[in-house]
Amino acid sequence: MWVTLSPLSMAMALYVPHSSAAANSGGSKTMKSDEIKALIMEIRRYAENRLSDVARGVETPALAALMVEKFGEGIAKAMQLLGVEGCGELGREIDRLVREVDPHYPKHLQYRFEARPAGLAINGAAH
């Protein structure tokens, strides 16, 4: 049985801040609503660019969604290292955007986890 975690849930589960980073952050911080919205807008812009590339046939939906997922995880990781709390809205938006870019995201995520090693196929050759 496969359990599908959201991109943000995976990021938070996989990334544990280094004790020095957590110690230097001065404890947890609550990010202002407008700051979180600015990060969400940046992720949305990135997702829009990926959707544009999918529409032009430059990227597959699976690849584009993976890139949106990883971009969002990077932002979530930075927020975690800074000790920011209260970013559930960001995680929900990452999840929504990933599924908007690739409606078959859960299936493609499972395929990536089953592939050993996972890779890219460019011009018919695996890399």
Which residue has better confidence, 9 or 59?
59
Number of domains in the chain: 1
> What is the identity of the amino acid at 33?
S
Instruction: Tell me whether residue 40 is in a domain.
Output: yes
Instruction: Tell me whether residue 73 is in a domain.
Output: yes
Q: For the segment 43-92, what is each residue's pLDDT rounded down to a tens digit?
A: 999 999 999 999 999 999 999 999 999 999 999 888 888 888 767 888 89
Residue 5: what are its φ and ψ, rounded to 5°?
A: -95, 150
User: Which range has the top average pLDDT, 6-15, 54-63, 87-96, 116-125?
Assistant: 54-63
What gap in Å lies between CA 53 and CA 46, rounded to an integer?
A: 11
pLDDT (0 to 100) of residue 75: 92
Instruction: Tell me whether residue 63 is in a domain.
Output: yes
* Strand ranges, E, within 10-103: 29-30, 84-85
Instruction: Tell me whether residue 53 is in a domain.
Output: yes
35-49 burial code (b ≥16 CB/10 A, e <16): ebeebbeebeebbee
Instruction: Tell me whether residue 47 is in a domain.
Output: yes
Instruction: Tell me whether residue 121 is in a domain.
Output: no
pLDDT (0 to 100) of residue 31: 65
Instruction: Tell me whether residue 38 is in a domain.
Output: yes
Q: Which domain holds residue 96?
A: 30-115
pLDDT (0 to 100) of residue 1: 40
Please, which pLDDT band fits residue 21 given cuts at 50, 70 and 90?
A: very low
Residue 109: what are its φ and ψ, rounded to 5°?
A: -65, -45
Instruction: Tell me whether residue 55 is in a domain.
Output: yes
